[in-house]
Structures are given as C-alpha cells and as structure tokens.
Amino acid sequence: MDRRTFLAYSVATGVVVWAGSAVPGKFAELFNIGATNAQTAQLFPQSVASGDPQPQGITLWTRVNTTLPTATLSFQIATDRDFRNIVLSGVASTDSERDHTVKVNLNNRSELKPATTYFYRFIFDNTPSRVGRFKTLPAPDAKVDRVKFAYISCSDYTNGLFTAFRYLAEEDIDFVVHLGDAIYETVFDPTFQNNVRPIRLPSGAAKAESLEDYRALYKIYRSDPDLQRVHESHAFIFIWDDHEFANDAYQTFNTDNPDPAKPELSNTPRRRQTASRVWAEYTPTAIVFDGTRPPLEAIQLYRSFVIGDLVELIMTDERLYRDAPPCGPTTAQRALNPGCPNLTNPDRSMLGKTQRDWFLSKVTNSTRTWKIWGNEVMTMQLKISKAVVDRVRPGLIPVDLFAYLDQWDGYPVERALIFRTIRDRGIKNFVTVTGDLHSFVAGYQRIDFNTPFSPGTVPPDAVGVEFVCGSISASNLAEQPNPFQLDVQTSTQLLLASNPHLLFFNSDTHGYNIIEVTPTLLTCRMKAVSNITSPTATLSTLKVYDVPKDQVLIRDVTPR
C-alpha cells in the first residue's frame, strides 16, 4: 500500500464536528432524517458501535452499505434517546478503500462530560441508524466510589449462538472489555468447531487469508442481532488474541501448516498486515493502522485507561511481539508437552522488551488503588501431574505435562520477572482479567508455581489474583475431543488437584465475567448461559468472588 492510498484509507477526510444541533447550511441536507424503518437495516447492516471511552471522548463506528465509491454520513450525540438535547453533531466521509466503514474519533470535547451517559446515531440517505449508547469515563482526578465492567472473549459464530451477548446488553455496567478472538479465521474445523451456523468465505477456503475473506467474517459476525445489541448498549475496549489473524499466531507467523524444519513457510507478513488492517476497520477503537509500515510497526494495541482515583486498566498485546513457541510450532509441541530446555531461555518474551518495560512502568507507577491487567492468555501455570493422574488411571501419562504452551507457561522466565517486580516494588491490589481458555478459572499468581505450599492456604509467594472468563461460544473441554478419553468432570478434578493455586475451574459452560470495584473491595461474578444452541438459553451466576483491598486473597461469596 503506497502512502497516497494509505492516506485515503486511514485519515477520516472531511470529518467536521460542531457543538449542538444547529447545522451549517452546506451540511443541511445530510441531516434530513425520517423514522427508523426497513431501510435502516439495509443501509446499516452491522448497526453501530462505540469504543475507547475517555472522560471527554469516544470513538463511534458504523458501516454503510452502498455501492458509491465514496459516501458522507452525518452523526449526532445527545443526552437522551429521543435526541431532543443534542450536544454534538458532525459529518464523516468513508469510501470503498475502508469497505465503507466509518470511524469518528472524538477526543477532549468539552461538550462531553465525564461519567455521563450519551446516545448517538448516524444518518445516511435520510435514514437513521439504530441508536447506540455509551458512557464516558470519570475524570482522572475524580474520587470514584464504584466502577463496573464486563469482560469477554472467544465468540465463535460457527460453534454456537451469541445468546450471552443478549444478556450482557442488559447488564448495568460502565463498559465492556474484549480480550480477543472477536472472530475466528477458521470457518469449520471439526477438531474444535461445530457447524451450528455455517460460513462460506468468498475464497471458498477453510481459513481466511485474503482481504475479502477477513472483511466477510467481520460483516457476518456483526450481522448477529445479539452482538449488535450489546454493541449498541455499551462502549467496548478491545484487544485481539490469535484468531483475528491465525490460530496460536506469533508476530507474522501462523501455525496453520507448521514445519519445524522450514519455519519460513509459516511466515505470512502480508496475511498479518491484512488481518491488522481489517481489525482496525471493523473495531470501534481510536487505534490507528499505518499500512505504510511493516506489520510489527503498523499498529499498536497496548494502552491504558485511568478511571478516576480508583482503577488503572492496562491492556497488553500478547501476539504481535511474542517469540516463537518454546518447544516447536506443531500441535504436539504446543499442547500436552512435558517442556523443553528452551523454556528457561532468559531472552524469550511474550510482550517484547519495549511493551514489557511500558507495562511494568504502568503497573509500578500507577497511583490508582486497583491495577487491573487486561491479559489475553492465562498467566497461572496449568499442568497435568502424573502422580495425580495415576490415582485415577495409572500409566495414562508418562511424566508431568503442560496443558498448553501457547499460554504464559511457554514464557515462564518473563512471567517470573513480572511477578518478582510486582513483589519487590510492593505493588498491592494487582488483579488480572483473562480470556482465551474457554473456561472459567480463579486462582493465585505465583513467582514459583512449583514450590509446594499448604493446601487451602494462600501461596506465600502469591503477588496477585487472576480471573479467567469462559468463552461466549467457542468450544470448551466438554465440547472438544479429549485425547485421554476422560469426561469433563474427571478432567476438571485432575486439573484442580494438579494445580493447587487454582480455586475454581469450569470448562463445560459459556458466558462472561462482571468486575465491580470499590475503594475497599473488588468482586468478580462469573455468569453462564445454559447452552449455546438455543436462543432461549437462560443465564445464571456460576461463582462470585471477593478480593479485599491490600490483600492477595480470594474469598468465595457465591450465594448458596
């Protein structure tokens, strides 16, 4: 992509914003508006979304369905759903180079007040979009008594329905954190996907690789009414994981066709660049994609959000800068592996040195009460102990095995460095929220996971707590083929017994987590849908945990 094309693609040329509802004459016809009608769904097939909330800012998103090479839309932001009190109006242009997606990045607008709920809509061809809603963050110097947000991951359109999103849309929360795998590049792989809702890519391939394929996936996913409803209801803070590009990806490499002798075959910088470009097009975020730069420099996801004096939310990217899998790229070298000498290589990194230094600086220098890490893959060790398994089925495994080295278990030296720094700097109230594992998990983060400690107590080297959310619809242990032919209940008990730092593990349901934070307490509620095959699935509370201020302690307060 040359610079001229890039500028046409990335810069929102023609964006004009003004206060209130009065429209300059030259834009008047763009604000001729009728009632929401059948044409709304045709012109705005992916509805609307908002993201990256700030005390006086937001990013608004939509896509207009048109054959015009360029199109200009208008938008309005109001304090009420009926748009009687409009505080901001404007126009924005888009074109086919961006697949007619529209982003309006609003920063430091005095018309937007901190900790305030607003409504917004777009208008095209005299037709309004559906109405979206967002809430701005508190001012950075505000004394905040409470913040409440949801976090989610792993929504696989082919594997099940997005019923969980319908319930999430109704939650009384301030925003949603998405920890990755908003799409799956694989449209049907029988090893982990049920073909509940078939997808056919424009290329006809089983995995997205082209610009058209990735764009088609986002359009299909965003056509889901429950996904639209949750985006209309809450602002989102996004990072990605692997499936926005390729399974277990690292840098510009994928693991689709791994050959340890020829790693260059898995190096696909053009595909990585395409995936990043489309992610930027279809995600409501203020992050800029620069297609003139190489893939590892074209986009930067890691960033933090300050929520008054109460919380600093620190989001990291654990794909773009990580080193290769420690023991090799094949599935057998990543999953159910005993480990290898490369695990202790001190030069290996998941975050990359630049991002790691930034992350540690944010965590150790934050003056907010709670430091919350928005983290893609589980930090806590997940091993399968031969001694534990032998009690159930002697000789089933020859040695202790790591469940999956794509997680932080594949980067233990850097993990220990991070946790030692948190201990040595005396950092309190460090909580990690995680996705990826398609399971609900609660436990303690330790400097050395292999040192024994008394059962039922807090590990003496614990520095923080971690809560992992279940998937929205991606397959879990109960739905995937089990190499040991054990039922999910037995597998769960073996994992808990093999990993005493874990207090809870559930991989036979789906849903999301809610975090509620006050100056003295953090509460995590794990919520699960009864199934992902019925639109009438019910929602229930799976677990509730408290973390008291200044204590590395998880208390089970689930209602009996």
For residue 12, the SS3 value is: coil
Query: How confident is the model at residue 481, as a pLDDT?
Result: 81
Long-range contacts: 30-36, Cβ < 8 Å, 24+? 30/72, 30/73, 30/74, 30/91, 30/123, 31/74, 31/76, 31/89, 31/123, 32/126, 33/123, 33/126, 33/127, 33/128, 34/126, 34/127, 34/128, 35/128, 36/127, 36/128, 36/130
CA dihedral 549→470→173→521, nearest 10 degrees, is -10
Whose tokens are 């764009």? That residue is: 215
CB 204 within 8 Å of CB 169: no
Query: How confident is the model at residue 14, as a pLDDT?
Result: 60
| Number of other residues whose CB lies within 10 A of the CB of residue 59 | 23
CA dist., res. 159 & res. 473, Å (int): 6
Query: How confident is the model at residue 37, as a pLDDT?
Result: 77
Count Cβ neighbours within 10 Å for each residue of 526-545 and write b for 16 or more, e otherwise.
bbbbeebeeeebebeebbbb
Domains of the chain: 3-135 (2.60.40.380), 147-556 (3.60.21.70)
Q: Which two tokens stand for residue 105?
A: 């990045």
CA distances from 215 to 246, 262, 502 (A): 15, 30, 39
Q: Which two tokens stand for residue 269?
A: 């910088």
Q: Specify the DSSP class assigned to residue 282.
A: H
Contacts of 159 (CB under 8 A, 6+ apart): 184, 192, 193, 194, 196, 473, 474, 475, 479, 532
Phi/psi at 390 (nearest 5 deg)?
Answer: -60, -25
Query: How confident is the model at residue 8, as a pLDDT?
Result: 37
Q: Specify the DSSP class assigned to residue 545.
A: E
CB 471 within 8 Å of CB 153: yes
CB 288 within 8 Å of CB 276: no
Query: How confident is the model at residue 2, as a pLDDT?
Result: 37
- Round the CA-based radius of gyration of the chain to a whole number and report it: 23
Along the 560 residues of the chain, how does pLDDT read in single tens digits? 333 333 333 334 468 999 999 999 889 999 988 777 789 999 999 999 999 999 999 999 999 999 999 999 999 999 999 999 999 999 999 999 999 999 999 999 999 999 999 999 999 999 999 999 999 999 999 999 999 999 999 999 999 999 999 999 999 999 999 999 999 999 999 989 999 999 999 999 999 999 999 999 999 999 999 999 999 999 999 999 999 999 999 999 999 888 888 877 899 999 999 999 999 999 999 999 999 999 999 999 999 999 999 999 999 999 999 999 999 999 999 999 999 999 999 999 999 999 999 999 999 999 999 999 999 999 999 999 999 999 999 999 999 999 999 999 999 999 999 999 999 999 999 999 999 999 999 999 999 999 999 988 999 999 999 999 999 999 999 998 888 889 999 999 999 999 999 999 999 999 999 999 999 999 999 999 999 999 999 999 999 999 999 999 999 999 98
